[in-house]
Amino acid sequence: MKPIRTGILVFLFWTIVAGGLYPLFTTGIAAVFFPHLSGGSLVAKGGVVVGSTLLAQDFPGDTYFRPRPSAVGYNAAGSGASNQGYTSAQLKKDVAERTADWRKANATNEVPPEMVTASASGLDPDVSPSGAELQVPRVAAARHLTAAGTAALMALVKRHEQGPQWGFLGEPRVNVLSLNLALDAAFPEAKP
Protein backbone atom coordinates (compact mmCIF):
# COMPACT_ATOMS: atom_id res chain seq x y z
CA MET A 1 0.00 0.00 0.00
CA LYS A 2 2.91 2.37 0.75
CA PRO A 3 4.22 2.36 -2.89
CA ILE A 4 0.75 3.26 -4.18
CA ARG A 5 0.43 6.12 -1.69
CA THR A 6 3.93 7.35 -2.58
CA GLY A 7 3.11 7.16 -6.29
CA ILE A 8 -0.07 9.17 -5.82
CA LEU A 9 1.73 11.82 -3.75
CA VAL A 10 4.55 12.13 -6.32
CA PHE A 11 1.95 12.38 -9.09
CA LEU A 12 0.04 15.12 -7.25
CA PHE A 13 3.24 17.01 -6.38
CA TRP A 14 4.49 17.10 -9.98
CA THR A 15 1.03 17.86 -11.33
CA ILE A 16 0.85 20.93 -9.08
CA VAL A 17 4.45 22.01 -9.73
CA ALA A 18 4.73 21.28 -13.47
CA GLY A 19 1.07 21.73 -14.37
CA GLY A 20 0.26 24.74 -12.21
CA LEU A 21 3.07 26.62 -10.50
CA TYR A 22 5.62 26.56 -13.32
CA PRO A 23 3.16 27.79 -16.01
CA LEU A 24 1.92 30.53 -13.67
CA PHE A 25 5.50 31.58 -12.89
CA THR A 26 6.62 31.72 -16.55
CA THR A 27 3.42 33.48 -17.62
CA GLY A 28 3.91 36.07 -14.86
CA ILE A 29 7.56 36.65 -15.83
CA ALA A 30 6.55 37.07 -19.48
CA ALA A 31 3.76 39.50 -18.57
CA VAL A 32 6.14 41.63 -16.50
CA PHE A 33 9.19 41.66 -18.78
CA PHE A 34 7.62 41.16 -22.22
CA PRO A 35 4.03 42.47 -22.01
CA HIS A 36 3.67 43.19 -25.75
CA LEU A 37 4.97 39.78 -26.78
CA SER A 38 3.08 37.82 -24.13
CA GLY A 39 -0.12 39.61 -25.14
CA GLY A 40 0.11 38.27 -28.70
CA SER A 41 2.02 41.20 -30.29
CA LEU A 42 -1.27 42.91 -31.03
CA VAL A 43 -1.26 46.11 -33.06
CA ALA A 44 -3.84 48.83 -32.45
CA LYS A 45 -4.82 51.69 -34.72
CA GLY A 46 -6.96 54.42 -33.22
CA GLY A 47 -7.51 52.32 -30.09
CA VAL A 48 -8.84 49.37 -32.09
CA VAL A 49 -6.85 46.14 -32.47
CA VAL A 50 -6.22 45.63 -36.20
CA GLY A 51 -4.06 42.53 -36.07
CA SER A 52 -0.94 40.90 -34.74
CA THR A 53 2.57 41.14 -36.11
CA LEU A 54 2.79 37.36 -35.58
CA LEU A 55 -0.16 36.40 -37.81
CA ALA A 56 -0.77 37.09 -41.47
CA GLN A 57 -4.05 38.53 -42.59
CA ASP A 58 -5.49 39.11 -46.02
CA PHE A 59 -5.16 42.52 -47.64
CA PRO A 60 -7.31 42.28 -50.76
CA GLY A 61 -7.12 44.73 -53.62
CA ASP A 62 -4.22 46.57 -55.15
CA THR A 63 -3.85 49.38 -52.60
CA TYR A 64 -2.06 47.21 -50.03
CA PHE A 65 0.94 44.92 -49.92
CA ARG A 66 -0.13 41.30 -49.90
CA PRO A 67 1.16 38.56 -47.63
CA ARG A 68 2.06 35.11 -48.84
CA PRO A 69 -0.87 32.79 -49.62
CA SER A 70 -2.60 30.93 -46.81
CA ALA A 71 -3.76 27.32 -46.98
CA VAL A 72 -6.28 28.09 -44.22
CA GLY A 73 -7.74 31.37 -45.45
CA TYR A 74 -5.78 33.36 -42.82
CA ASN A 75 -7.85 31.70 -40.05
CA ALA A 76 -5.73 31.74 -36.88
CA ALA A 77 -8.09 29.28 -35.19
CA GLY A 78 -7.36 26.65 -37.82
CA SER A 79 -3.76 27.25 -38.77
CA GLY A 80 -1.98 24.58 -40.76
CA ALA A 81 -0.51 23.61 -44.06
CA SER A 82 -2.15 22.04 -47.08
CA ASN A 83 0.05 18.96 -46.53
CA GLN A 84 0.51 18.64 -50.28
CA GLY A 85 3.84 17.16 -51.30
CA TYR A 86 5.96 18.41 -54.18
CA THR A 87 4.45 15.71 -56.45
CA SER A 88 0.88 16.84 -55.73
CA ALA A 89 -1.07 17.78 -58.85
CA GLN A 90 -3.21 20.16 -56.76
CA LEU A 91 -0.13 21.93 -55.41
CA LYS A 92 1.25 22.34 -58.92
CA LYS A 93 -2.10 23.73 -60.08
CA ASP A 94 -2.31 26.14 -57.10
CA VAL A 95 1.24 27.41 -57.64
CA ALA A 96 0.64 27.86 -61.38
CA GLU A 97 -2.54 29.88 -60.70
CA ARG A 98 -0.86 31.98 -58.02
CA THR A 99 2.12 32.60 -60.30
CA ALA A 100 -0.15 33.78 -63.11
CA ASP A 101 -2.08 36.01 -60.69
CA TRP A 102 1.17 37.44 -59.25
CA ARG A 103 2.58 38.22 -62.70
CA LYS A 104 -0.65 39.86 -63.83
CA ALA A 105 -1.15 41.92 -60.65
CA ASN A 106 2.45 43.07 -60.35
CA ALA A 107 3.41 43.28 -64.05
CA THR A 108 6.63 41.34 -63.54
CA ASN A 109 7.99 37.94 -64.45
CA GLU A 110 10.04 37.82 -61.25
CA VAL A 111 8.16 35.68 -58.74
CA PRO A 112 9.51 35.26 -55.19
CA PRO A 113 8.77 31.66 -54.13
CA GLU A 114 7.01 32.61 -50.90
CA MET A 115 4.49 34.72 -52.82
CA VAL A 116 3.05 31.63 -54.55
CA THR A 117 3.42 29.00 -51.81
CA ALA A 118 1.70 28.86 -48.44
CA SER A 119 3.75 28.52 -45.26
CA ALA A 120 3.54 25.52 -42.92
CA SER A 121 1.26 27.44 -40.55
CA GLY A 122 -0.69 29.22 -43.29
CA LEU A 123 -0.22 32.39 -41.25
CA ASP A 124 3.35 33.56 -41.94
CA PRO A 125 3.24 37.35 -41.40
CA ASP A 126 6.43 38.15 -43.32
CA VAL A 127 7.55 38.22 -46.93
CA SER A 128 11.03 38.55 -48.38
CA PRO A 129 12.32 42.03 -49.20
CA SER A 130 11.95 41.26 -52.91
CA GLY A 131 8.39 40.03 -52.27
CA ALA A 132 7.55 43.47 -50.89
CA GLU A 133 9.65 45.55 -53.31
CA LEU A 134 8.11 43.93 -56.39
CA GLN A 135 4.66 45.04 -55.18
CA VAL A 136 5.66 48.73 -54.99
CA PRO A 137 4.64 49.65 -58.58
CA ARG A 138 1.18 48.07 -58.14
CA VAL A 139 0.52 49.75 -54.80
CA ALA A 140 1.87 53.09 -56.05
CA ALA A 141 -0.36 52.97 -59.13
CA ALA A 142 -3.42 52.00 -57.08
CA ARG A 143 -2.78 54.91 -54.72
CA HIS A 144 -2.12 57.30 -57.62
CA LEU A 145 1.42 58.17 -56.49
CA THR A 146 3.76 60.24 -58.62
CA ALA A 147 7.29 59.07 -59.49
CA ALA A 148 8.55 60.84 -56.36
CA GLY A 149 5.82 59.15 -54.32
CA THR A 150 6.79 55.78 -55.75
CA ALA A 151 10.41 56.38 -54.76
CA ALA A 152 9.26 57.35 -51.27
CA LEU A 153 7.16 54.19 -51.11
CA MET A 154 10.19 52.09 -52.03
CA ALA A 155 12.14 53.84 -49.27
CA LEU A 156 9.31 53.01 -46.85
CA VAL A 157 9.57 49.33 -47.80
CA LYS A 158 13.35 49.39 -47.29
CA ARG A 159 12.90 50.95 -43.82
CA HIS A 160 10.63 48.04 -42.88
CA GLU A 161 13.12 45.37 -43.95
CA GLN A 162 14.39 43.39 -40.99
CA GLY A 163 17.55 41.30 -40.97
CA PRO A 164 17.77 37.73 -39.71
CA GLN A 165 16.68 37.30 -36.10
CA TRP A 166 19.64 37.92 -33.76
CA GLY A 167 21.74 38.53 -36.88
CA PHE A 168 21.96 34.91 -37.99
CA LEU A 169 18.61 33.08 -37.70
CA GLY A 170 16.47 33.00 -40.82
CA GLU A 171 16.37 35.32 -43.79
CA PRO A 172 15.75 39.05 -44.19
CA ARG A 173 12.02 39.81 -44.09
CA VAL A 174 9.30 42.45 -44.15
CA ASN A 175 6.29 42.28 -41.83
CA VAL A 176 3.26 42.93 -44.05
CA LEU A 177 0.93 44.29 -41.35
CA SER A 178 3.51 46.79 -40.10
CA LEU A 179 4.29 47.85 -43.66
CA ASN A 180 0.62 48.34 -44.56
CA LEU A 181 -0.02 50.41 -41.42
CA ALA A 182 2.97 52.61 -42.28
CA LEU A 183 1.66 52.80 -45.84
CA ASP A 184 -1.70 54.13 -44.65
CA ALA A 185 0.02 56.69 -42.44
CA ALA A 186 2.43 57.92 -45.13
CA PHE A 187 0.20 57.62 -48.20
CA PRO A 188 -3.51 57.73 -47.38
CA GLU A 189 -5.56 56.31 -50.20
CA ALA A 190 -6.32 59.04 -52.72
CA LYS A 191 -9.73 59.04 -54.32
CA PRO A 192 -9.48 58.85 -58.13
Q: Which domain holds residue 29?
A: 1-39
Q: Does the reported pTM lie above 0.95?
A: no
Same domain, yes or no: 63 and 117 = yes
Q: Is residue 191 part of a domain?
A: no
78-103 in b/e form (b: 16+ CB < 10 A) is ebeebebeeeeeebeebbeebbeebe
Same domain, yes or no: 66 and 12 = no
On average, the pLDDT of the chain sits at 90
Number of domains in the chain: 2
Same domain, yes or no: 35 and 45 = no
Task: Give the pLDDT of residue 92.
Answer: 92
Gap between the Cα atoms of 60 and 50, Å rounded: 15
Closest CA to 145 of 135, 134, 153, 133: 153
Query: Percentage of residues in the chain with pLDDT exceeding 70?
Result: 98
In which band, very low, low, confident or very high, does the pLDDT at 192 lie, cut at 50, 70 and 90? very low
Q: Is residue 192 part of a domain?
A: no
Gap between the Cα atoms of 120 and 56, Å rounded: 12
Q: Is residue 166 part of a domain?
A: yes
Convert the pLDDT of each residue in 121-153 to its tens digit: 878 899 999 999 999 999 999 999 999 999 999
Same domain, yes or no: 54 and 17 = no
34-38, 141-145, 153-157: the lowest-pLDDT one? 34-38
Q: Is residue 124 part of a domain?
A: yes
Gap between the Cα atoms of 156 and 133, Å rounded: 10
Mean pLDDT of the region 24-52: 86
Mean pLDDT of the region 27-45: 85
In this structure, are residues 187 and 148 in contact, taking their beta carbons and an 8 Å threshold?
no
Task: Give the pLDDT of residue 170.
Answer: 87
Task: Give the pLDDT of residue 73.
Answer: 85
Q: Is residue 49 part of a domain?
A: yes
